[in-house]
Amino acid sequence: MIPRKNILSFFCSSHFYSKFFRYYSTYPSSFFKINSKFDSDQIYDFRSDTVTKPTDEMFDIMRNASRNDDVLDEDESTNELETYMAELTGHEAALFVPSGTMTNQIAIRAHLSTPPHSVLCDFRSHICNYEAGGIAYHSQASVTPLKPSNKLFLTCSEIESELIVTDDIHYAPTRVISLENTLNGLLFPIDEIHKISKLAKKSNIKLHLDGARLWNACAETNSSLQTFTKNFDSVSLCLSKSIGAPIGSVLVGNKEFIKTAKHLRKLFGGGWRQCGLLAAAAKFAIASNFPDNLKKSHLLTKKLSNELFNLGIHITLPVHTNMIFIDTKSINITTGELANRLALHNILIFGNNSTTTRLVLHYQIPPISIEKFIDVVANIIKEKKN
């Protein structure tokens, strides 16, 4: 029997840190309602990069898209997007899917066969925390959540020490390792990914990437998608976050994997018929926004982070791409109060009774909104001092 190191303290610790990171959740359970009337149509929305709005140019592209049935493999615009994504990522095939949660869950289910089996991932990951227990429900798999000792990313040695590769009947063998890049806006070093990929191959374990924001990692590091994606058996790439498409994600892998994934998409209720207009909008969004507009949003993120830091707000995680995690305790205000004050200036953030929250920038956040944001915080601090 392989030793499971301090298993009780591990899960207690993970539980504690899970609660801590849920204060920075993508999906907080409660917020203050914003009741302010906006004085113009210009809203600066820092809640997530999912809030980008389709542009007039996208609607023009959508009007000219094909209108055939994708479930019957007859839609040209969808096929074009899938071929394009397979080429960009260096994989054999791709599948256009309604959501990132569905691409992740389909990928995990396609990699697994008969229980007992388990999936190893970062304890902060989307597949572990924010997909409604999908791994247990869809794949009858247990999850091995790991807490990185560096507080940034999992290392190969950490993963190797927790792999379940024994035939001891008390355990569920590790069949999938799932990484996420970026995670909380943090970059996953490519050198470490190489090591983990080699470990997975050596151990005959599938390696999946939740690359919902891989676009940001590539833009920030001046890398091609293939630099990252060639290390994985499957990759999920979101199109409706930083890329700015109205809806959808793409799953890539080899032809046999995608054939299975398409069958599972139908099983999950994800066959979406005349989706060519959405595929065309997504392809246009990639061409329009990647990588330049993502790079611009990263620069604005770092500018906002530096200004907030200079005002005395604690930045709780390094700022690598388009996310800032803040703690407002030092200025004696809750994030709910901050949200209400910002809303008076048409700025939206998530807030509640705590002092921690997440700010997310995207290509539709203009420089003027950064100045407005800083002015509001500076005025709050001035008022507190008086």
pLDDT digits (tens, 9 = 90+) for 5-63: 433 333 334 443 444 344 344 444 344 444 445 545 689 999 999 999 999 999 999 99
pLDDT of residue 37: 52
Domain with CATH 3.40.640.10 in the chain: 56-289
Question: What's the CATH number for 18-47+291-385?
Answer: 3.90.1150.10
pLDDT > 90: percent of the chain: 88
C-alpha to C-alpha distance for 248 and 282, rounded to whole angstroms: 8
- Matching residue, tokens 């998608």: 225
Determine the pLDDT at residue 25. 41
Question: Residues of the chain whose pLDDT is less than 50?
Answer: 1-36, 39
Write down the pLDDT at residue 132: 96
Backbone angles phi, psi at 308, to 5 degrees: -65, -40
Residue 225: per-residue pLDDT: 98
What type of residue is 261?
Answer: A
Instruction: Tell the residue number behind the tokens 């592209």, with chain if given.
Output: 61
Vertex 186: Cα angle to 300 and 124 (nearest 5): 130
What pLDDT, on a 0 to 100 scale, did the predictor assign at position 21? 42
Q: What is the pLDDT of residue 8?
A: 32
Q: Give the pLDDT of residue 251.
A: 98
Give the pLDDT confidence score for residue 41 in this predicted structure.
Answer: 65
Task: Give the domain 56-289 fold.
Answer: Aspartate Aminotransferase; domain 2 (3.40.640)
Residue 34 pLDDT = 45
Beta-carbon neighbour count of residue 14 at 10 Å? 16
In the chain, which residues fall in CATH 3.90.1150.10?
18-47+291-385
Mean pLDDT score across all residues of the chain: 91
Give the pTM.
Answer: 0.90
Contact by Cβ (8 Å): 361, 300: yes
